Amino acid sequence: MARISPDQLRSLPPDSAIQFDSQGHLRHFLTISGVPREALTQILDTAESFMTFGEREIKKVPLLRGKTVVNLFFEASTRTRTTFELAAKRLSADVINMNAARMSTSKGETILDTVRTLEAMHTDLFVVRDSASGASHLIARHLPEYVRVINAGDGRHAHPTQAMLDMFTIRQKKGGFEGLKVAIIGDILHSRVARSQIHALATLGVDEIRVIGPRTLIPTEIESMGVTVTSNMSEGLRDIDVVMMLRLQRERMDGQLVPSEQEYFSQYGLTEEKLQVADTKAIVMHPGPINRGLEIASSVADGDRSVILSQVTNGIAVRMSIMATLMGGTEAVR
Amino acid sequence: MNPVSLDPIVSQMTANLRDRNLRNPILIGIHTGGAWVAERLHAELALSSKLGTLDISFYRDDFSRVGLNPKVKSSDLPEGVEDRNIILVDDVLHTGRTIRAALNEIFSYGRPASVTLAVALERPGRELPIEASIVGKAIEPADKQQAQVTLKDNQLSYQLVDSSANAQST
C-alpha cells in the first residue's frame, strides 16, 4: 500500500499523524487532512474493483474473515451505519452495531470505558460517530496498536468516508479532478462533510473550490483552506462542473442564522433556473437525507444532473476499500 | 537467460485442450500473466464464448500479512459460470495458492460444471494439493529464481530471474 515518508510524517499536525504507523502506513482514517494524494487515489482505485460485487452470486470476499467490526454510534444515523455494516459484511467481517447513546454512556460510563470493554472482546476495527469533534481521535489514541478506527463523523470536524465517496463519484462521472470547478453550497459552518470535502478536493487537485452560502453559515477562517467564498448563487454557480449541496439542518431555522425556509430556498435553494449558468454537463451531489424544497428543488434532486443515488451505491465500495486498506498487513503488529 | 517465446507452448496447450473436447467451455485467465496466456488460447481455440479475467487479490491468503495489492484490477466474468465447463488459465503454477484463491473466487459467482486447470509453465514447490491438467512446459528454476512472464511488443515470453525479497508467491 501507499505509505508516507518519515519526513512527510514528521511534518503532519498531530491529529493527522496519529493515522499513520511508524512505517507510514495508513492505520486509522480520521481526517483527510494530511493524507497524501497517492493514498487517496489508491483508496479510490481499490474501491473501483469492489464496484462489480453487486452482480456476483456471493457478494462477499474473505478479506476480513474472522475479524470483528464494531459500529459505535453515539449519534443517530441510519444511512451511514447501514452502508458501513454492509461494507464490513461484504468483507466477511462479523459486525456489531452499538447505538451507544442509549446504552452505557447514558448510565454514566465514559466513551473510553465503553471502548475498552469492547476492545477486551477483541474488536479489530471501530467505526465511530459522535456529536463531539475529536471523539474518534480520542479513541484511536487509547487503543492498542493493532486496533483500527474509522471516523464516521465527529461533531463539526470531519466525515472523511463521506468525502471519499463523493470524490469517487466525481471521478466516476467526470473522469478525474484536473480542471474541475466545484461549488459547495449551504451550511458550511456546521458541516463536517464540507471540511472533509475541501481537504479531499484540494489534495486531489481540482482547479477551483467555491463555497456558497449565507455569511452567517460560513466560518470566517474558511478562505485559509484555499477556497473562494461568495453569497451570490449566480456568481458562484457560473461555469461550475460539480455542485455539492449540503443538508441544512432544520434546527438552525430559528431565525438567528437563517431568515425563514422560504427566504432560504429563494436565495440558496438549488433550482433548474439557478443551474442555467452552470456548465451544461454539471453534476449535482447531496450527502442525504435531502430536504426537498429547502436546500434543493425536487426537480433537481430527481433530475438528469443528479448523481445522488450513485453516491449511495458508491458509498459501499468506498467503505469496503477504506476498511481493507486499514486492515491489510496487520498480523505482523500483533 | 534471454526471454523464451511462449508461442510454441501456447500452441501445445491449444492442441491438448482440443483433445479434451469440453462442451462449450469458457476461458478464464488470472491477472496478469494468466490473462495474457488465456487471450492467446482464446484466439487459437476460436471460442465463441467471451474471455473472462480474474484478479484474485481479494482472495489471497496473505492479506493479513502483506496487505492489499495496490494495483488490484477488477475481475470480469462476462459469461457467468453456473453449470459451465471452465478452463482456468495461469502463467506459472508454483505453490498452488493462487489457484486455491481463484477457485474460491470462481465459486462466489456460481457453481461451474467443471474446472480444468491449464498453465503455461509449472515448477516444483507445491504447498497445496493442486495440479494442472494441461501443462505447456515443466521447468526447474534454481531456488532463488522466479519464472517471469512478460508481454512486450506483442511478444509473449518468459525468463528466469532472481526473485526479489518481497516477490509474491504464485
Residue spans of the domains in chain A: they are 6-157+314-333, 160-303
What's the pLDDT at B69?
81
Rg, Å, chain A Cα set:
20
Does position A250 have pLDDT exceeding 90, yes or no?
no
CB B18 within 8 A of CB B45: yes
Residue B60 vs residue A278, higher pLDDT = A278
φ and ψ at B135, to 5 degrees?
-125, 120
- CATH superfamily entry for domain A6-157+314-333: Aspartate/ornithine carbamoyltransferase (3.40.50.1370)
Residue A11 vs residue A257, higher pLDDT = A11
The pLDDT tens digits for B97-125 are: 999 999 999 999 999 999 999 999 999 99
User: Where along chain B do its domains lie?
Assistant: 4-63+73-161
The pLDDT tens digits for A180-233 are: 999 999 999 999 999 999 999 999 999 999 999 999 999 988 999 999 999 999
The strand pairing partners of B115, in sequence order, are B86
CA distances from B135 to A199, B7, B11, B42 (A): 52, 14, 11, 16
Report CB contact under 8 Å: A61, B64: no
Could you tell me how far CA B87 lies from the centroid of its own chain?
10
Residues A95-110 as b or e (16 or more Cβ within 10 Å = b): beebebeeebeeeeee
Topology of domain A160-303, CATH: Rossmann fold (3.40.50)
Chain A hits for B73, CB-CB cut-off 8 Å, are: 49
Report CB contact under 8 Å: B59, A324: no
Does position B38 have pLDDT exceeding 80, yes or no?
yes
The strand pair at B155-162 and B4-5 is best described as antiparallel
Q: How many CB atoms lie within 10 A of CB A117?
A: 12
Minimum CA–CA partner of B76 in chain A:
A52
Question: Three cell numbers at B157?
Answer: 515470453
- Asked if B166 is an interface residue toward chain A (Cβ–Cβ < 8 A), one would say no
Report CB contact under 8 Å: B64, A49: no
Residues B114-135 as b or e (16 or more Cβ within 10 Å = b): ebbbbbbbbbeeeeeeeebebb
CB B98 within 8 A of CB B170: yes
What's the pLDDT at B74?
83
ipTM here: 0.77
- Asked if A3 is an interface residue toward chain B (Cβ–Cβ < 8 A), one would say no
Nearest to A46 among B65, B72, B107 (CB): B72
The pLDDT tens digits for A85-137 are: 999 999 999 999 988 765 556 566 678 888 888 888 899 999 999 988 888 99
Give the pLDDT mean for A146-173.
95
Instruction: Give DSSP secondary structure letters for B83-147.
Output: T-EEEEEEEEESSSHHHHHHHHHHHTT---SEEEEEEEEE-S--SSS---SEEEEE----TTEEE
φ and ψ at A325, to 5 degrees?
-60, -45
Report CB contact under 8 Å: A332, B65: yes
Chain A hits for B59, CB-CB cut-off 8 Å, are: 61-62
Helix (H) or strand (E) holding A170: helix A160-174
Q: Enter the CATH code of domain B4-63+73-161.
A: 3.40.50.2020
